[in-house]
Chains A and B, each alone.
Chain A
Amino acid sequence: MTVHPPTAVLVSLQRHYAGSVSRFTAFAIDFIVSSGLFAIALAAISYVAQVVTGHAIAWNKHDLIIGIASVAWYLLYFGYSWATSGRTFGMAVLGIRVIRADGAEIDPWRGLVRALAFPLSFLFFGLGFLGILVQREHRAWHDFIAGTVVIYAWDARAARLRFLAREALPSASPDGIARR
């Protein structure tokens, strides 16, 4: 299914509260990327250990150390991203970002709090995320705790111009006037 909102809507949505699909897709990308990076890190550690000691390390995902390390890694991944730039890799792909509820830029401490509160939204079968779907400002529990919101931040006007440019490209003539 292809859903293209009108251009005027796209442009006017910049700075508006981001919707559920954009946020969920961003999280999915972040989860895949961070999990992939974590797996690569474990594989790298195992390889180094084998080279140094001659014994390969067999990682078990049920190990307590792996559990603690993964939680620490996810906190670092999300906390560092939100604290420094207000967006993770997945959010950058989807063109959304975290800001303070009053519209100001997010500060590092608030980004860290958001990362620490983030797991709480997974409790009770992800009940904390329901706010993204039904709440008027699309805020989850961790948003309320950290005093943050997520907005559209991508330049839809530039995207629109690029789209028009692509459309005009085959019909543009040497004299500078497009033939339609």
Chain B
Amino acid sequence: MTDQVELAAQGIAERVIDLVVQALDVNALLLRIDVNAVADQVDVNELMDHVDVNELLNHVDVNELLNHVDVNQILAHVDVNQLLTHVDLNELLTHVDINQLLSRVDMPLLLERVDVDSVAKRLDIDEVLRRIDITALLDRIDMNDLVGRVDIDALVEQTDLGTVIAGASGGLVTDALDEVRSQAVGLDQFIDRWVARLLRRKDRGPLAPPALLDAGAQS
């Protein structure tokens, strides 16, 4: 008996609700609601605390979303220069790992795309040279090492430098002295070798006073 009454009451209630909802003008009702007042009472932060944004984003198909975005259209509205004035490039660069960035760059491919001739044409060599501190540059060059790499013999033989040297320093006396000295040194060494052989010396011993040997090595 009780069950039948409850079922009847439930059916009546559902029917009444349907009738009320059908009779209700929701649009008119919403017009009467002060949405701003409602919004004022909503604590958005409190609400956001309950939202798992990551979980939410997992359900968003970003690619699909981006397919609908006309990036060019957006960028057309962006004043890049104005944007860049707000960007602290130095600060930005401090966060950039240049080495990491460069390691990801395919340098050969990059260089293939560079029109070096074009770059060179646009280069103001005079301006570049004007900005170079030649003195500082030269300070960093080991001149002795540089000169040491020059094949002086080949230079004299292959160029007119030999003519200059011959004209500046040549002379009968000088040539005669060079010849006499060379002959004497050659005979010195010849005799030294024989003396060392007769005395059965295995090592030649000191070649010069140590101080002069050190000086010779440094010069």
A interface residues, Cβ below 8 angstroms from B: 2-5, 7, 9-10, 12-22, 25, 93-95, 99-104, 133-134, 136-137, 149, 151-152, 154, 156, 158-169, 172, 176-178, 180
B9 at the interface (CB under 8 A from A): no
A-B contact pairs, 7 of them (CB 8 A): A2-B183, A19-B189, A22-B185, A94-B180, A161-B156, A165-B163, A169-B166
B interface residues, Cβ below 8 angstroms from A: 152-153, 156-166, 169-170, 174-175, 177-178, 180-192, 195, 199, 204-213, 215-216
Let me know if A19 and B160 touch, CB within 8 A: no
Q: Total A-B residue pairs with C-beta atoms closer than 8 Å?
A: 149
Shortest C-beta distance, A143 to chain B (Å), equals 12
Let me know if A17 and B180 touch, CB within 8 A: no
CB closest residue in chain A, given B192: A19
Let me know if A17 and B207 touch, CB within 8 A: yes
Let me know if B209 and A162 touch, CB within 8 A: no
Let me know if B185 and A19 touch, CB within 8 A: yes
CA A94 to CA B188, docked complex, whole Å: 12
Let me know if A20 and B157 touch, CB within 8 A: no
Let me know if A4 and B182 touch, CB within 8 A: yes
CB closest residue in chain A, given B159: A176
Let me know if B170 and A134 touch, CB within 8 A: no
CA A12 to CA B211, docked complex, whole Å: 15
Point out the residues of chain B lying under 8 angstroms from A156, CB to CB.
181, 185
Let me know if B182 and A166 touch, CB within 8 A: no
CB closest residue in chain B, given A18: B188
Point out the residues of chain B lying under 8 angstroms from A101, CB to CB.
209
Let me know if A163 and B178 touch, CB within 8 A: yes
Let me know if A178 and B159 touch, CB within 8 A: yes
Let me know if B162 and A17 touch, CB within 8 A: no
User: Known contacts A17-B207, A136-B205; is A154 also within 8 Å of B162 by CB?
Assistant: no
Point out the residues of chain B lying under 8 angstroms from A177, CB to CB.
158-159
Let me know if A19 and B206 touch, CB within 8 A: no
Let me know if A168 and B170 touch, CB within 8 A: no
CA A172 to CA B209, docked complex, whole Å: 42
CA A167 to CA B152, docked complex, whole Å: 14
CA A93 to CA B182, docked complex, whole Å: 12
Point out the residues of chain A lying under 8 angstroms from B215, CB to CB.
15, 103
Shortest C-beta distance, A3 to chain B (Å), equals 3
User: Known contacts A169-B166, A176-B160, A178-B158; is A17 also within 8 Å of B208 by CB?
Assistant: yes
